[in-house]
Chain A
Amino acid sequence: MHGGWSFPFPPELSASASPAIWRAHEAPSVVILETAADPPLANRPGSVLVRRSILNEVSNRNGRHLVLSDKHGRYRLLIREKGSLPNSGYLVAGDGYLEMRLAAIARLHGPPRRNSSAMDRQCLRPSKYQRHRLVLLLKILDRLSANEMRLPTLRTIATEVIYPQSQFGRALEWKTSSARRQTQRLVSEARYLMQAGYRDLLKGRTGRSKISTDQIHSLP
């Protein structure tokens, strides 16, 4: 910390402990609310801030950025004061993520609806399968970055992280196994998400690796 500011988020803290403030154009789940000046938003009845706690907040020239929380989950909000507007309103960018933006606004603005969890699942939250896969990829990255003198082998990652109950027999059997190819794919995908693919996640995409195979082959 440096007298009231810090790097966007400290990497040693998890997202649950210190949620990042993402740029609105990168993350369609960030709702942009343009307000018509006074009275302060927090004092208005029905305000989106009422009965929600503020987990993180920063202000800069782009506005006031907030991560809010209630019993239903998290909300990401950018408040811009526009004194010239007659009324407050949401700004929805005309990009390819309209569904996600509208889902985020509906979730923030209205009371929880019967079908809101289904909408969340579709647009804002990963499905059960996607969550399982993302957690597995995080485990792989943690295993790759463990403090050891040498990088773990693909086989080590397979036996310790991906297929903990499996035996792969002799070296030749392992080398020709589908498990080895699947381990290569998962390592590649984990690295891609860490390097650039996290931006796809912000947009609700959990696509496959785009990393070249050269990077996978750096593992013994």
Chain B
Amino acid sequence: MTSSADYCRQYDPYDFADFAQEFLRRNPEYRAQYSKLDGSLHLAPDSKACKEIAHAWGLEFPVPT
């Protein structure tokens, strides 16, 4: 169990970009797309579909290493 003070303290070092990520990761649509991609082994990371998904959220997508 996290206390309220601990909950707040974890955000002390956050900048605007970190807060933006915290809001986005709570987005059900983003979470659904993540689950879908996570289970889709055939989807190439440098494919147009993957890049479009990442860019639609304002994110960069890595190429396979």
- Chains A and B come from one and the same complex: yes
Which chain A residues lie closer than 8 Å to B59 at the CB level? 8-9, 20-23
Interface residue range, chain B: 35 or more
Determine if B64 and A3 form an interchain contact, defined as CB atoms under 8 angstroms apart.
yes
Q: Is the CB of B23 within 8 A of A194?
A: yes
Q: Which stretch in A46-54, A136-144, A207-215 binds the other chain?
A: A136-144
Contact (Cβ within 8 A) B34 A125: no
Segment with Cβ contacts to B, from A32-40, A56-64, A149-157: A56-64
Beta-carbon contact of B61 and A8 below 8 Å: yes
Having A194-B27, A201-B17, A204-B16, one finds 7 other A-B pairs with CB under 8 Å, namely A4-B65, A7-B33, A11-B31, A19-B17, A19-B18, A22-B58, A126-B14
28 A-B pairs with CB atoms under 8 Å apart are A2-B64, A3-B64, A7-B38, A7-B54, A8-B60, A9-B25, A11-B24, A11-B30, A14-B25, A15-B22, A16-B14, A22-B58, A22-B60, A23-B55, A23-B59, A23-B60, A26-B58, A59-B62, A61-B63, A73-B13, A73-B15, A74-B15, A132-B8, A193-B23, A194-B24, A199-B20, A201-B19, A202-B16
